[in-house]
């Protein structure tokens, strides 16, 4: 076992453990903090895949967004944010069955994928995968259509949020 | 390699060679060298704060027509050391109902988030922690970790003023991250790379502050907001919030926040000097790397001097003024700047560098002028409406709606 595998295993274990803690923590604040740790673990896995861009964006987007999420969870919930009740739903057996079935289907499909047996290609040291990613996002042969569609969707969400937030009456009064 | 020309690089090479002679495998040598480098850099940066505190107190003292610290040591140089010794001996107080883990994690994370910034900044030609190909993005992502630490501190303290302060701080940081990122895109466009080393190398001929003064201005203002210094220091408005997110901390834990704040202020100046003032670039810096380090420090201290000057002279913003400046001025201006710079860059692609820079400079100045003009127009309209309301209605309003009077 080399160092890279060790790092991968540690990161995977930390992410999985904290993912379990996200759904089992009693305090909402703690759940959000465990979520940060989970996403950090995913960022480390991106690093081991030599994809520094995704690792950094993972931290940038998710940790920054989770700070906002925590603020909202504090502001919109009960003061202590601590649930004393039962953590298990009445219909948990049916839910567990659906979850296991879904998991089995995903694993089944993934087992059919050829990518697992393919050998990793070592990147040449001077190759800039960031440059390639940028080109792929805007080239007509690449992903320009999904990229633009996602942009339009985000702009629509932005405008929608502003429309809801703006107070017209207040504005007209000046 | 000559010791005098590049002492730091010389020591690094000697150390790596010495590790190799010990008979360790090469991968271990690499890990050991990186670990030692990180330790030395982090410790050096932390110790540097002692000097920064003295410098800032002295400067603020001069601004306010005082002497500043002048009792301990020559020119009061040892005053921060005495303060530190005092803070070491203070009692740790953990408030009742505090969330122990988050309460204790917050100061560590605050300092770590600042120290991590140093890992990608090139200090001279030969000395750079790690030349990430996404260096600039890394710098911004680490800022998010800093936000987390403030939230942890505010929430873990079990104090409503701390929580309110943390909310306000994070609202400010997240808002000002938008123009910060957008204006940081301009050097990336000019250099054609996200790597900080690459951005420094691209400023061989022209510093980016000359090609894009508007971007530099936005970046500088957003940076000051990110470190929460005056005029953006309403996160620790004593009259409203007592002291903000760190109210419940005492002793060394408070000291950690203090260190993080001072080091962050200096680090932000360092980033500005690196991204817009050419980093270590200067006459002879390629041949004599230690000269590059001196250049970088001089540039950084010039920028730091300006931030301290701001701190000593400007009054505090009100929160709606702060948000107005961000969302109504800086963000649209930086968006317009990106579009304009991209168009000018595309049009002048064939021209020599000199004319390109002239084009960039012109479009920057034009946008700055337009922004200033629009702000003045909006101001005049507001004043007019306000006057009409006062004279026309004849009713003394006690409206709490801000933004109309100023």
Residue B404: which pLDDT band, with cuts at 50, 70 and 90? very low
Lowest mean pLDDT among B168-182, B204-218, B335-349, B381-395: B381-395
Q: How many domains does chain B have?
A: 2
Token pair recorded at residue B262 = 């001072």
Domain membership of residue A117 (yes or no) is no
Last residue of a domain, one of A24, A48, A81: A81
Domain membership of residue A44 (yes or no) is yes
Last residue of a domain, one of A19, A48, A81: A81
Domain membership of residue A97 (yes or no) is no
**B58 vs chain A: nearest CA distance in angstroms?**
36
In this structure, the answer to whether residues B280 and B246 fall within a common structural domain is yes
Q: Is A174 in the B-facing interface, judged by CB distances under 8 Å?
A: yes
Q: Is B155 in the A-facing interface, judged by CB distances under 8 Å?
A: yes
Q: Is B147 in the A-facing interface, judged by CB distances under 8 Å?
A: yes
Determine the straight-line distance between the first and last CA of chain A, rounded to whole angstroms.
Answer: 69
Quick one: three-class SS letters along chain B? CCCCCCHHHHHHHHHHHHHHHCCCCHHHHHHHHHHHHHHHHHHHHHHHHHHHHHHHHHHHHHHCCCCCCCCCCHHHCCHHHHHHHHHHCCCCCCCCCCCHHHHHHHHHHHHHHHHHHHHHCECCCCCECCCCCCHHHHHHHHHHHHHHHHHHHHHHCCCHHHHHHHHHHHHHHHHHHHHHHHHHHHHHHHHCCCCHHHHHHHCCCCCHHHHCHHHHHHHHHHHHHHHCCCCCCHHHCHHHHCCCCCCCCCHHHHHHHHHHHHHHHHHHHHHHHHHHCCCCCCCCCCCCHHHHHHHHHHHHHHHHHHHHHHHHHCCCCCHHHHHHHHHHHHHHHHHHHHHHHHHHHHHCCCCCHHHHHHHHHHHHHHHHHHHHHHHHHHHHHHHHHHHHHHHHHCCCCCCCCCCCCC
Of B27, B132, B167, the CB nearest to A71: B167
Closest residue in A to B100 (Cα) is: A30
Chain B residues touching residue A60 (CB < 8 angstroms):
137, 140-141, 144
Yes or no, beta carbons of A67 and B385 under 8 Å apart: no
The C-alpha atoms of residue B299 and residue B278 are separated, in whole angstroms, by: 9
Answer whether 0.80 is exceeded by the pTM.
yes
Q: Is A171 in the B-facing interface, judged by CB distances under 8 Å?
A: no
Yes or no, beta carbons of B27 and A33 under 8 Å apart: no
Last residue of a domain, one of A81, A116, A145: A81
In this structure, the answer to whether residues B95 and B60 fall within a common structural domain is no
Domain membership of residue B193 (yes or no) is yes
In this structure, the answer to whether residues A150 and A77 fall within a common structural domain is no
Residue A173, number of CB atoms within 10 A of its CB = 12
Range of the domain at B41: 1-85
Range of the domain at A141: 129-174
In this structure, the answer to whether residues A1 and A77 fall within a common structural domain is yes
Mean pLDDT on B130-148: 83
The C-alpha atoms of residue B386 and residue B319 are separated, in whole angstroms, by: 20
Q: How many domains does chain A have?
A: 2
Q: Which residue has the tokens 């609202």?
A: B171
Yes or no, beta carbons of A52 and B132 under 8 Å apart: yes
In this structure, the answer to whether residues A77 and A1 fall within a common structural domain is yes
Residue A81: which pLDDT band, with cuts at 50, 70 and 90? low
B399 compared with A70, residue with greater pLDDT: A70
Q: Best residue in B26, B28, B132, B133 to probe A by mutation, most A CBs within 10 Å?
A: B133
Domain membership of residue A91 (yes or no) is no
In this structure, the answer to whether residues B74 and B105 fall within a common structural domain is no
In this structure, the answer to whether residues B334 and B221 fall within a common structural domain is yes
Nearest to residue B375, comparing CAs of B332, B330, B406, B329? B329
In this structure, the answer to whether residues B125 and B60 fall within a common structural domain is no
Yes or no, beta carbons of B141 and A63 under 8 Å apart: yes
Sign of CA dihedral B29, B31, B32, B33: positive
What are A97-154's pLDDT values in tens digits? 999 999 999 999 888 887 777 776 776 666 677 788 888 888 888 888 999 999 999 9
In this structure, the answer to whether residues A2 and A77 fall within a common structural domain is yes
**A62 vs chain B: nearest CA distance in angstroms?**
9
In this structure, the answer to whether residues B184 and B283 fall within a common structural domain is yes
Cα-only R_g, chain B: 24
Residue A157: which pLDDT band, with cuts at 50, 70 and 90? very high
In this structure, the answer to whether residues B107 and B6 fall within a common structural domain is no
Q: Which CATH number belongs to the domain containing residue A55 in this structure?
A: 1.20.120.1200
Chain B residues touching residue A29 (CB < 8 angstroms):
99, 102, 155
In this structure, the answer to whether residues B8 and B109 fall within a common structural domain is no
**A104 vs chain B: nearest CA distance in angstroms?**
36
In this structure, the answer to whether residues B75 and B108 fall within a common structural domain is no
Residue A12: which pLDDT band, with cuts at 50, 70 and 90? very high
Last residue of a domain, one of B68, B85, B102: B85
Nearest to residue A58, comparing CAs of A37, A73, A32, A28? A37
Domain membership of residue A95 (yes or no) is no
Mean pLDDT on B138-162: 83
Mean pLDDT on B294-317: 88
In this structure, the answer to whether residues B73 and B216 fall within a common structural domain is no
Q: Is B226 in the A-facing interface, judged by CB distances under 8 Å?
A: no
Q: Count how many Cα atoms sit within 13 Å of the Cα of residue B132 in the half-sphere of its side chain.
A: 22
Domain membership of residue A86 (yes or no) is no
Lowest mean pLDDT among B321-330, B381-390, B394-403: B394-403
In this structure, the answer to whether residues B97 and B73 fall within a common structural domain is no
Query: Between A and B, how many CB-CB pairs are < 8 A?
Result: 63
Domain membership of residue B374 (yes or no) is no
Domain membership of residue B372 (yes or no) is no
Q: Residues 22-81, chain A: which have Cβ within 8 Å of B?
A: 29, 33, 36, 52-53, 56-57, 59-60, 63-64, 66-68, 70-71, 74-75
Mean pLDDT on B309-333: 86
Q: Is B103 in the A-facing interface, judged by CB distances under 8 Å?
A: no
Nearest to residue B227, comparing CAs of B275, B178, B260? B260
Q: Best residue in A67, A68, A135 to probe B by mutation, most B CBs within 10 Å?
A: A67
In this structure, the answer to whether residues B196 and B56 fall within a common structural domain is no
Output the average pLDDT for chain A: 81
In this structure, the answer to whether residues A137 and A63 fall within a common structural domain is no
């Amino acid at each position: 076992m080399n160092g890279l595998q060790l790092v991968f295993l540690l990161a995977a274990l930390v992410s999985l453990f904290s993912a379990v803690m996200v759904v089992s923590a009693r305090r909402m604040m703690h759940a959000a903090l465990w979520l940060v740790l989970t996403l950090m673990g995913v960022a480390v896995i991106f690093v081991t895949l030599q994809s520094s861009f995704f690792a950094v964006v993972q931290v940038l987007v998710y940790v920054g967004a989770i700070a906002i999420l925590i603020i909202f969870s504090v502001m919109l919930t009960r003061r202590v944010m601590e649930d004393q009740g039962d953590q298990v739903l009445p219909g948990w057996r049916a839910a567990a069955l659906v979850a296991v079935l879904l998991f089995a289907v995903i694993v089944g499909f993934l087992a059919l994928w050829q990518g697992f047996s393919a050998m990793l290609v070592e990147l040449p040291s001077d190759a800039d995968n960031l440059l390639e990613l940028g080109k792929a996002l805007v080239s007509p042969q690449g992903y320009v259509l999904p990229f633009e569609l996602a942009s339009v969707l985000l702009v629509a969400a932005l405008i929608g949020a502003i429309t809801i937030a703006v107070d017209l009456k207040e504005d007209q009064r000046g | 390699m000559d010791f005098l020309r590049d002492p730091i690089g010389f020591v690094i090479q000697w150390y790596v060679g010495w590790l190799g002679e010990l008979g360790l495998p090469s991968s271990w040598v690499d890990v050991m060298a990186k670990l030692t480098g990180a330790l030395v850099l982090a410790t050096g940066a932390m110790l540097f704060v002692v000097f920064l505190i003295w410098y800032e107190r002295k400067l603020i003292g001069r601004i306010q027509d005082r002497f500043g610290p002048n009792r301990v040591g020559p020119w009061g140089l040892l005053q921060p050391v005495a303060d530190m010794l005092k803070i070491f001996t203070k009692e740790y107080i953990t408030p009742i109902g505090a969330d122990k883990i988050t309460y204790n994690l917050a100061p560590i994370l605050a300092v770590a988030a600042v120290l991590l910034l140093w890992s990608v900044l090139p200090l001279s030609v030969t000395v750079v922690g790690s030349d990430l190909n996404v260096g600039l993005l890394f710098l911004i992502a680490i800022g998010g970790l800093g936000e987390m630490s403030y939230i942890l501190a505010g929430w873990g303290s079990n104090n409503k003023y701390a929580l309110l302060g943390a909310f306000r701080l994070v609202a400010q940081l997240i808002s000002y991250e938008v123009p910060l990122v957008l204006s940081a895109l301009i050097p990336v466009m000019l250099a054609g790379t996200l790597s900080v080393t690459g951005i420094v190398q691209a400023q061989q001929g022209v510093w980016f502050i000359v090609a894009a003064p508007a971007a530099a201005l936005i970046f500088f203002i957003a940076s000051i907001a990110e470190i929460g210094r005056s005029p953006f220091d309403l996160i620790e408005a004593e009259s409203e919030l007592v002291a903000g997110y760190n109210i419940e901390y005492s002793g060394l834990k408070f000291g950690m926040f203090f260190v993080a704040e001072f080091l962050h202020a200096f680090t932000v100046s360092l980033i500005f000097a690196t991204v817009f003032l050419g980093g270590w670039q200067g006459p002879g810096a390629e041949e004599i790397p230690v000269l590059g380090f001196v250049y970088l420090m001089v540039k950084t201290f010039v920028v730091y001097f300006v931030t301290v000057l701001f701190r000593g002279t400007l009054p505090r913003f009100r929160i709606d003024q702060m948000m107005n400046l961000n969302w109504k001025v800086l963000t649209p201006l930086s968006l317009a700047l990106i579009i304009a710079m991209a168009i000018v860059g595309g049009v002048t692609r064939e021209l020599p560098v000199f004319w390109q820079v002239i084009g960039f400079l012109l479009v920057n100045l034009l946008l700055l002028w337009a922004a200033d003009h629009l702000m003045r127009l909006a101001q005049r309209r507001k004043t007019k409406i306000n006057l009409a309301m006062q004279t026309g209605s004849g009713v003394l309003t006690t409206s709490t709606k801000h933004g109309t009077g100023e």
